[in-house]
Amino acid sequence: MSKLVTIFGGSGFVGRYIALRLAKEGWRVRVAVRNPETAGFVRPYGVVGQVEPVFCNIRDDASVAAVTRGADAVVNCVGVLAETGKNTFEAVQVEGAERIARIAAGMGIDRMVHISAIGADADAESEYAKTKAQGEAGVLAHIPNAMILRPSIIFGAEDGFFNRFASMSRFGPILPVVGADTKFQPVHVDDVAAAAVKGIDGDASGVFELGGPDVKTFREMMRDMLEIVRRRRLILNVPFFAARIMATCFGVAQALTLGIVKAPVTKDQVINLAIDNVVSADAKGFADLGIHPTTMASVLPDYLWRFRPSGQYDAIKESAKNLRT
């Protein structure tokens, strides 16, 4: 009988790629999510019945136990970039991660992959970075040989980064960013999935920092994006003091409107945007896993073309300019 893996957050941006890779390897996959009815798209990743979305609330012991029972391995892809309601950093990234590891260990499961983030630091000023580190500690306390993956900013067809800014570039001549000179090491989502599979298969364990072959500033990434979408925009660096004021105001507006007004940036995110997000010099990474990371240039045009002025017809129009009448 094929082995069974439970992927918490398996229909999310990273989780779906891990689910697809494991299904291709023959694993039976439980995709544990809050809304199984919206995760039906994962079923065709395998043969009938091989990949199944199931309900789970990682804030509840019984819920986690129900989807973990019988599994040979677990993957935790659940995290939040901003707190909403009961989904706080503490509840999701600390208590949720520890709960999954504790329950899995109690069932005799010794293979776990936990998705964290570069910058995870128990002493960080940012609550996001602090709770990421606390979540790692909670996982390792129960499953010492777990694999911890710390990716830099992740790109791919469904990402919330390049897609977001490419969409913003369609409106107005200015593209505002916070931390224009902060460095990142963007990593392709399927490379992160490939690393996770190494841990599930038992080929690797420990902490790995994952970054792609390109180290670029926020401004440089926006220039690359604008070149791909064929738009000219002024990249405006918002000073950190101004960003903090803006984040505070938006936070108050979001609270007063009960979430109707969404804060485009939070105070915690502003703190993180002031810190370089690149692989540490002494960290284990893709090279230790035998994975060659994908470049941005080879992937971004495949999904950002739709933000060009003429979308899919932009290349045809450019080609037509070279025709002689």
Per-residue pLDDT tens, the chain, 325 aa: give them: 589 999 999 999 999 999 999 999 999 999 999 999 999 999 999 999 999 999 999 999 999 999 999 999 999 999 999 888 889 999 999 999 999 999 999 999 999 999 999 999 999 999 999 999 999 999 999 999 999 999 999 999 999 999 999 999 999 999 999 999 999 999 999 999 999 999 999 999 999 999 999 999 999 999 999 999 999 999 999 999 999 999 999 888 888 887 777 878 899 999 999 999 999 999 999 999 999 999 999 999 999 999 999 777 666 666 666 765 5
Cβ neighbors of 282 (< 8 A, separation 6 or more) are: none
Residue 196's pLDDT is what? 98
Distance CA 126, CA 117 (A): 13
Residue 321's pLDDT is what? 67
Residue 318's pLDDT is what? 66
Which residue type does 171 have? F
Distance CA 100, CA 104 (A): 6
Residue 255's pLDDT is what? 80
Residue 1's pLDDT is what? 59
What homologous superfamily does CATH list for 4-158+184-217+277-295?
NAD(P)-binding Rossmann-like Domain (3.40.50.720)
Cβ neighbors of 321 (< 8 A, separation 6 or more) are: none
Residue 72's pLDDT is what? 97
Residue 260's pLDDT is what? 77
Residue 323's pLDDT is what? 67
Phi, psi of 112 (to 5 degrees): -145, 140
Sign of the torsion formed by the C-alpha atoms of 307, 312, 315 and 321 = negative
Which residue type does 209 have? E
Distance CA 134, CA 150 (A): 13
Q: Answer yes or no: are the C-beta atoms of 265 and 243 closer than 8 Å.
A: yes
C-alpha closest to that of 184 among 116, 271, 276:
276
Domain definitions of the chain by residue range: 4-158+184-217+277-295
Distance CA 299, CA 165 (A): 16
Cα 276-204-29 angle, rounded to 5 deg: 95
pLDDT digits (tens, 9 = 90+) for 239-288: 999 999 999 998 888 888 877 778 788 999 999 999 999 999 999 999 99
- Token pair recorded at residue 85: 């309601």
